[in-house]
Structure 1
Amino acid sequence: MSIAVLAQVYDEVRRLSIAGSNVAPGDFRLKKLISPLEKSGEKAPVFKKVAESVGKVVESNESTSAEALLDLSTLVNAILYTQGEVGATGDLTPVEQIGQGILPKRTPASLLKSVANALTTTGSGRLELIQESLSQDPFPDPRLLGPAIDALDGSYYEVGDLVEKSILPQYGKSIVPIVLEKFDRKGGAGDARRLSLLHRVDPTGAESIIHEVLEDGSSEVKIVAISKLRDPKNVSFLIEQSKAKGTKVRDAAFSALAVINNAAAAKYLVQRMKEKGHLRSIREGLKTRHPDAVKVLLAETRLAWQTLLDTKETDKNAHEAAHTRLVTLLAALEHRTDKGTEKLLLELFPHRAAITKAEGKLGSKTCAHSVMTRMSECSDKTRDLLISEHETYDDYELAIATQAAIQQGNPAQFYDEFHGYLENAKTAKTKKRAAQSKAEAITQAIGNRVGSIYHYWYETVDKEREQELAQKRDQVDPRWLDLAVKHNNMELIFALARPDHGMAHKAIEAELKKRLKMKRVDYHLMDVLLAIIRSKHPDTVDLIIEAIRSTSKRSMGYYSYGIARLIPALDKNAVPKLELLLGELPDTEADRYVLAVAELKNRRS
């Protein structure tokens, strides 16, 4: 018996079962299979019975479709069951459970599929898709565990590192046996990530493996093992490794020494900090939080600052060494909030111009910008001083000050202090490009604060996440949106548009129509559509449909993948219009939207 057509029926029944029986009536794919089934039924009566059952599903309505689909599914599965063998020989043994059990999450199938593909395939855009998916909380889901484990061996290291640090740890100790199953201590980058993951989810259990790796592991895996040593007993070994020729080995040893809260480790780090030279070889050790080492770090930073001021640029070797040493030490102050660091930054900030002059050709305000960035991270006191001089800054410095001002949490004061830059971008008669760059810095900072909408190609609008973004948007002074509309700042309008702002709606609609008339539609179309949905534009459904028709007519099918991810966020009243639209589109286009429309139709609220 040829079962190819039955396999097609099975696939369509499975698709409809996932989408929901209420989308089964009139399904055009099933309808196409009736004719070949009837033809096969002339030789094998069972096919005729299947054809009749398919016909009942196609001709059903919402009240009868569930029963009809179940009958068809039962019949097809029964027939296919007779054509194969199931089961396995041998004795059954209980499976040992490690950690907590993990159950599937209520994650949309479209999101699961896109994340699984991003984890297991190649090509651009995968990292962004995975990063965006984290906000929708698809992990830990057992259906994504296999793809995530496979991603550890991927050639794109950024994806592998993200999976090891942020995704697989969510599964806890339960994944230890699966990780160990493929772990090879003489392997490459994938096995190095596996060892790091094992230490992350089960530090105690990983200790014995780490010591085995140190004996005969490959260089890549051994480097990870060195960085994970935490016992003070290992300090002497780490000190020895910190003198190795290999940069990665040294970095691993210093990163471990920086974490170990041990007097011997701190004493060694202090000794190395006081050495002359650029200090790049011990940069990981400079991250230490040991009080004795931090005290010396701050003292060496002051000394390095003065040394660069005193060194003449004509002495190229000495000048370069002094500059590199200061840059390295300032980088080590990242995210430090202690009083000592605060005092140092407040001392250095007034002397930015002098240090920039001392840098000469080696840097374009490198040290000054580093001090400003550290101030934006340190404390309210450092941020207040940083903000107070914003009128003297270039666009890069203004961006740092803007982030600091937003972090201070006073929306009205932030608007009063900084809105003039957007006004000036439109009115400036001289240095217009500089004024525009400063306005762009302000716009980008606000967009980052509320959740920048750029590059949301793979966005599935999630209710909880949208509520969080709406709260962030509401924390921004409402005058920013009025100002954005006044000057047609579309990036800011996209970020801040809200349901009660009619002028913002008009601006977004005009932008959509303008973009759809362009000869070439760029990726910013997705930003416009997302803003329409987020701001609850009164004509949201009609505008989305207009965009779908326009991109379909131009054979721009790649947009359909992004637009389809927005459909489940629409109002359920949109379903009838969308179902009519599916009938107008070519089959290949309709295929990309049908599941999204079904998801919207089946949404509970």
Structure 2
Amino acid sequence: MSVDLLLDLQVEVRRLFIAGSSLAEGDIRLSKLLPSLQKAGEAAPVFKRLADTTEGLIQAPRAESALKLLELATLLSAVMHTQGKTDVAGETQPVSSAGLSLPTEVTFRRLHPLLEALTTKGSGRLEQIRQAYEDRSFLDLRALPALCSALDDVYSEIPEFIQLKILPEFGQAAVPLLQSQLNLQGGKGDARRLQLLHLLQGESALELVQEAGASGAPELKIAAIELLSGYEGQEGFLLEQSREKRKEVREAAYYALARLASIPCQDRLFEAVASKDAELVIYPIRKCSALTLHKRIIAHAEEQLDRYSASEGKAREAALQQLHTNLRCLNSHAHELAEIAFPMLGRLMATDEFMTADAGVVQDTAAELLLALESEPSDRFAIGLHSAYKGKFIGYSFRAAFRQLSPAELFDRYADAIKGRSASAKLLQQAIQQIVHEQLAGSDERAEAVPEEAWDRRWVKALAGQDLTDLVCAFAHQNDRDVTSYLVSKLKDGSRVNDYRTQNVLLTLFRVGFKEAPELFMGLLENKTSRSFYYIDWRMKQLFASMPKAYAPRLRAFAEALAYESVKNELLEIVEALEAMPDDQAGESGKGVWQWIKNKMY
């Protein structure tokens, strides 16, 4: 009751400080509180003094009211500070010291963006979290709870990054919080917590993982199955889970069985190949290192081929589908199984009954597997499919021949087949494009042409004859009149300089040393229909850098007329580097100059 009275008096004192002490004389509100203060003063001297001071303020003339108000406020403040309580009701409990060994040296201003990214929604949060990871500001006690909670974030990339990169660096300090937040009946976030606890605690967390595998929600059961595959004595549990009613749990169990690869595990995987779970088990079998399992599947494929040839209707269709499943299982270990798999594949590809329209997908799978064997006998067999079945397998034949034949032999055997618009010609063109793509993508630097020694020089004219411009660009190595004439013909009046094909042709002309290439490029740049640049890629930059120094004024004039400031600045930077190029290199073009300019710019 006394505290309430003091609070009421404090409210009135604050009111008079705001309104002005001159209004205190005869104040009605203070007058109403005075009797209660006087009554409380009968029991406590301090309240009697408050009552007297309050009465003195009420009766004080205006000239003295300010001093009396200040005196009352000071006394009231002193009394109020004696009325607080520092004890807490109830029994004392130990305080968890989770993470208290972590530092808190990062300023809150620096930590705040990370905390905000972890506790709010919206775009740009992952970038903020990555920034905190890079500058190491995340290693702070205040960030740990938010990081553990963010494992439930709906934007999957955030919890994935936190799980893989951030929380492991906290070590054991993160364990108590992860344990307190873990819900075995939860979802993906709790599965991540279980995986982190196992990562941080190792075998000490095995009992928890077993509990999650036995009675956890599907997400935790899947995570537990994956973790338990690394321990001995879990085979029985994993075999049991491979028959669980949930599809995703069975799939996780198959991966775990493939990792264990014991005889019972292989038996279960082989059983699943011919069951309703055939699609689920293909990729786990590919990961299984036990070649005995793959050999059984090869034998099973032989049986299905016999069954396919001897049956009709639905039985024939079922055999074909099973054969397809078997072949798909063998992809990852094809080279190791070459000696055993080749006779089966050779027989399959030589079986006329198998070359039907309904078996088209299976035929392609078998041909791909034949190439994946990477053995000379299988390649020679594939080469022999060159003209078989109306050229249906000519693409596979060409890819095998590329590995086994010399460049001249390859050209002599396949050059005529590329002509025309037949289905086999298109398949051959696609095979060449695939090899070229692999060669260009596999280069340490951004390659512009295929290795000259890998192909016969005659290919470039043969490809030009079929109007395969991109391939001509990839095969051109010399300033051949016929080839350059073909490429120049592709630069028509309506060509746009920011078009990929146009740039590819120009880069090729520069690379082979075609003298008119700079003027052709400059003419396209100065064409009014080619002045809209929203961005520039590496091709345009290299074209600018390939120009002789004498073109620098015209290039500058073009760049300065561009509307987009960012594009203009990028091109002007190259022009400035070109202007600074030494005179002894000024007449050159191509890679040498491009490399010099890149070094100058960066």
Same fold flag (TM > 0.5): yes
Give distance in 1, aligned partners of 2:214 and 2:534: 51
Shift in CA distance, 154/465, structure 1 to aligned 2, threshold 3 Å: farther
Matched positions, count:
436
Deviations 1:477-520 (A, max 9, x none): 222123224444312212112254454333323313355179xx
1:283-319 C-alpha deviation (Å, 9 max, x unpaired): 2343223133223222111112212222212xx2x33
Matches of 2:201 and 2:562, distance apart in 1: 55
Write the letter of the residue equivalent to 1:377: A
2:367–2:396 Cα contact (<8 Å) kept: yes
Larger Rg: 2
1:593 to 571, 575, 579: 571
2:354 equivalent to 1:374: no
2:398 aligned residue? 402
Q: Measure, in 2, the Cα distance between the counterparts of 1:331 and 1:365.
A: 14
Aligned to 1:509: 488
Cα distance 1:488–1:173, how it changes in 2: closer, same or farther (>3 A)? Answer: same
Aligned pairs for 1:193-212 (under 5 A) are none
Q: 2:445 aligns with which of 465, 471, 474?
A: 465
- Equivalent residue, structure 1, for 2:43: none
- Whether the 8 Å CA contact 2:464–2:483 is kept in 1: the answer is yes
Compute the TM-score of the two structures, normalised by the length of structure 1: 0.57
1:578 partner letter:
L
- Within 5 A, what are the aligned runs for 1:65-80? none
Give 2:97's aligned residue: none
Query: Counterpart of 2:301?
Result: 301
Distance 2:412 2:167 in 1: 52
Higher relative contact order (CA 8 A, sep 6+): 1
In the alignment, what sits opposite 1:496?
475
1:567–1:374 distance in 2 versus 1, CA, 3 Å: same
* Residues in 2 aligned to 1:404 and 1:418: alpha-carbon distance in whole angstroms: 12
Rounded to whole Å, the distance in 2 between the matches of 1:190 and 1:419 is 58
The answer for unaligned runs of 5 or more in structure 1 is 1-89, 95-115, 121-140, 426-431, 454-462
In the alignment, structure 2 segments of 5+ residues that lack a partner are 1-102, 108-122, 128-132, 139-146, 581-596
Indicate how the Cα distance of structure 1 residues 400 and 239 shifts in structure 2: closer, same or farther if over 3 A, else same: same
Q: Do 2:506 and 2:543's aligned partners in 1 also have CA atoms closer than 8 Å? A: no
C-alpha separation in 1, matches of 2:191 and 2:394: 41
User: In structure 2, how many angstroms separate the alpha carbons of the residues matched to 1:191 and 1:555?
Assistant: 55
Q: What does residue 383 of structure 1 align with?
A: 379
Instruction: Give the drift of 1:330.
Output: 0.8
Matched, 1:448 2:437: yes
Cα distance in 2 between the residues matched to 1:178 and 1:584:
54
Q: Which residue is equivalent to 2:266?
A: 266
Equivalent in the alignment of 1:284 = 283
Please name the residue that 1:80 is paired with: none
CA contact (8 A) 1:419 1:480 kept: yes
Cα distance in 1, alignment partners of residues 477 and 271 from structure 2: 57
Cα deviations by residue, 1:524-581 (Å, 9 ceiling, x for unpaired): 344434544555554555444444444x745643464565454576368465553332
Change (3 A) 1:91 1:412: same
Q: Residue 413 of structure 1 aligns with which residue?
A: 409
Q: 1:402 to 1:359 in 2, by over 3 A?
A: closer
| Whole-angstrom distance in 2 between the partners of 1:532 and 1:509 | 8
Seen in structure 2, the aligned counterparts of structure 1 residues 545 and 154 have a Cα distance that, compared at 3 Å, is farther
**What is the one-letter code of the residue matched to 1:372?**
A
1:495 to 1:190, Cα distance in 2 relative to 1, 3 A: farther
Letter in 2 for 1:490: T
* Structure 1 match to 2:546: 570
Secondary structure at 2:492 match in 1: helix
Give the 5 Å matches for 1:170-185: 176-177=168-169
CA distance in 1, matches of 2:261, 2:487: 55
Is 1:277–1:321's contact at 8 Å kept on the other side of the alignment? no
Amino acid in the other structure paired with 1:374: L
Q: In 2, Cα distance between the equivalents of 1:251 and 1:332? A: 15
> How far apart, in 2, do the equivalents of 1:491 and 1:508 lie?
10
Q: Is the 8 A contact 2:335 2:372 kept in 1?
A: no
> Which deviates more, 365-374 or 231-240?
231-240
Shift of 1:374: 0.6
Q: Partner of 1:498: helix, strand, or coil? A: coil
CA 1:244–1:448 in 2, change beyond 3 Å: closer, same or farther? same
Give the 5 Å matches for 1:204-223.
Answer: 214=213, 219-220=218-219, 223=222
Shift of 1:329: 0.3
Aligned to 2:238: 238
Query: For 1:312-336, what per-residue CA distance to the aligned partner results, in whole angstroms no more than 9, with x for missing partners?
Result: 12xx2x3332222111001111143
Q: CA contact under 8 A between 2:496 and 2:502: conserved in structure 1? A: no
Letter in 2 for 1:604: N
Q: 3-state DSSP class of the match of 2:486?
A: helix
Equivalents in 2 of 1:205, 1:515: separation in Å? 69
Aligned-residue CA RMSD (Å): 5.2
Distance 1:194 1:500 in 2: 63
1:352 and 2:332 correspond: no
The answer to which of 565-574 and 245-254 deviates more is 565-574
Give the TM-score of the pair, scaled to structure 2: 0.57
Distance 1:284 1:210, change over 3 A: farther
Q: What is aligned with 2:320?
A: 323
- Tell me, yes or no, if the aligned pair for 1:421 and 1:438 is still in contact at 8 Å: no
Specify the alignment match of 2:557 in structure 1: 580
Deviations 1:27-61 (A, max 9, x none): xxxxxxxxxxxxxxxxxxxxxxxxxxxxxxxxxxx
Whole-angstrom distance in 1 between the partners of 2:534 and 2:203: 47
Identity of aligned residues (%): 20
Q: Alpha-carbon deviations, 1:452-498, whole Å to 9, x = none?
A: 79xxxxxxxxx95146x656344222221232244443122121122
Q: CA deviation at 1:418?
A: 1.2
Name the structure 1 match of 2:533: 557
What does residue 92 of structure 1 align with? 105
* Cα 1:358/1:312, change in 2 over 3 Å: farther
Whether contact under 8 Å (1:498, 1:536) holds in the other structure is no
1:375 is displaced (CA, Å) by 0.7
User: Which is further off, 291-300 or 562-571?
Assistant: 562-571
C-alpha distance in 2 between matches for 1:399 and 1:177: 50
One-letter identity of the residue aligned with 1:309: S
Residue of structure 2 equivalent to 1:437: 426
Give the partner amino acid of 2:268: Y
Offset at 1:390?
0.7
> Partner residue of 2:63?
none
Question: How far, CA to CA, are the matches of 1:440 and 1:198 in structure 2?
Answer: 53
Equivalent residue number for residue 34 of structure 1: none
Matches of 2:488 and 2:525 in 1, distance apart?
15
Amino acid at match of 2:440: G
Question: Is the Cα–Cα contact under 8 Å of residues 559 and 571 in structure 2 kept in the other structure?
Answer: yes
Report deviation, 1:376: 0.6
Q: 2: distance between equivalents of 1:577 and 1:205?
A: 70
Q: Do 2:222 and 2:248's aligned partners in 1 also have CA atoms closer than 8 Å?
A: yes
Contact 1:497–1:504 (CA under 8 A) maintained in structure 2: yes
1:499–1:310: structure 2 CA closer, same or farther, 3 Å change rule?
same
